[in-house]
Amino acid sequence: MKIALQNIHCNHEGYSRLIDLAAQTASLFLDDIEIDMRNVAWIDANMCAPLGAILYRAAREINSVRLTNIPPTVEAVLCKNGFLCNYGWPRKMDTYGSTIEYKRFEPKDDRYFADYIEKQMIGKGIPEMSPGLLKKFRESIYEIFSNAVIHSQTKQGIFSCGQYFYKKNRLDFSVVDLGDGIRRTILERRGLDLPAEEAINWALEGKNTTKAGPIPGGLGLKLLREFIVKNEGRIQIVSDSGYWELYNGKVTTKSFADPFPGTVVTIEINTADSKSYRLVSEVRPEDIF
Amino acid sequence: MNRQIILMVFEVVGSGICVSSDDGQKVHDQIAAALREGEKVKLSFLNIESLTSAFLNAAVGQLYGAFSEETIKGSLSVADMEQEDLVLLKRVVETAKEYFSDPDRFKKAREEALEERDDD
ipTM metric: 0.85
A236 forms bridges with which residues in the sheet?
A245, A266
Average pLDDT, chain A: 91
pLDDT tens, A223-265? 899 889 989 999 999 999 999 999 998 999 999 999 999 999 9
Spatial distance between the Cα atoms of B2 and B42, rounded to a whole number of angstroms? 12
The alpha carbon of residue A244 and the mean position of all alpha carbons in its chain are separated, in whole angstroms, by 13
CB pairs below 8 Å between A and B: how many? Answer: 123
Spatial distance between the Cα atoms of A194 and A189, rounded to a whole number of angstroms? 13
A154 vs B73: which has the higher pLDDT: B73
Spatial distance between the Cα atoms of A210 and A204, rounded to a whole number of angstroms? 11
pLDDT tens, A180-223? 999 999 999 889 999 999 999 999 987 788 877 888 888 888 88
What is the average pLDDT across B110-118? 67
pLDDT tens, A61-97? 999 999 999 999 999 999 999 999 999 999 888 877 7
Cα–Cα distances in Å, from A242 out to A154, A258, B81? Answer: 18, 9, 39
Would you say residue B28 has pLDDT above 80?
yes
Residue B34 Cα, gap to closest chain A Cα (Å): 17
Would you say residue A125 has pLDDT above 60?
no
pLDDT above 70: percentage of residues in chain A: 96
Contacts of B53 in chain A (CB under 8 A): 143, 217, 219-220, 223
Spatial distance between the Cα atoms of A208 and A204, rounded to a whole number of angstroms? 7
Would you say residue B114 has pLDDT above 70?
no
Would you say residue A122 has pLDDT above 90?
no
Nearest to A215 among B57, B76, B98 (CB): B57
pTM of the model: 0.90
> Is A137 in contact with A199 (CB distance < 8 Å)?
no
Nearest to B84 among A113, A209, A279 (CB): A279
| Residue type present at position A178 | L
Cβ separation of A143 and B52 shorter than 8 Å? yes
pLDDT at site A126 = 58
Cβ separation of B52 and A220 shorter than 8 Å? yes
Cβ separation of B88 and A223 shorter than 8 Å? yes
Would you say residue B20 has pLDDT above 80?
yes
Cβ separation of A216 and B91 shorter than 8 Å? no
Which string of b and e fits B61-84 if b means at least 16 CB within 10 Å? bbbbbbbeeebbeebbbbebbeeb
pLDDT at site B47 = 96
**B113 touches A at CB < 8 Å:** yes
pLDDT at site A132 = 79
> Is A67 in contact with A54 (CB distance < 8 Å)?
no
Cβ separation of A113 and B19 shorter than 8 Å? yes
Spatial distance between the Cα atoms of A91 and A163, rounded to a whole number of angstroms? 16
Burial of A8 (0-12, 13-18, 19+ CB in 10 A): buried
> Is A6 in contact with A39 (CB distance < 8 Å)?
yes
**B35 touches A at CB < 8 Å:** no
Residue B30 Cα, gap to closest chain A Cα (Å): 16
Would you say residue A146 has pLDDT above 80?
yes
Task: Give A91's DSSP letter.
Answer: P
A63 vs A130: which has the higher pLDDT: A63
Three-state secondary-structure class, residue B86: helix
> What would you measure as the largest C-alpha separation in chain B, in angstroms?
38
Taking the CA atoms of A257, A260, A265 and A268 in sequence, report the sign of the dihedral they define.
Answer: negative
Average pLDDT, chain B: 90
pLDDT band at residue A280, thresholds of 50, 70 and 90?
A: low
pLDDT above 90: percentage of residues in chain A: 65
pLDDT tens, B2-11? 679 999 999 9
Cβ separation of A283 and B87 shorter than 8 Å? yes
Cβ separation of B93 and A289 shorter than 8 Å? yes
pLDDT at site A101 = 94
Spatial distance between the Cα atoms of A148 and A81, rounded to a whole number of angstroms? 22
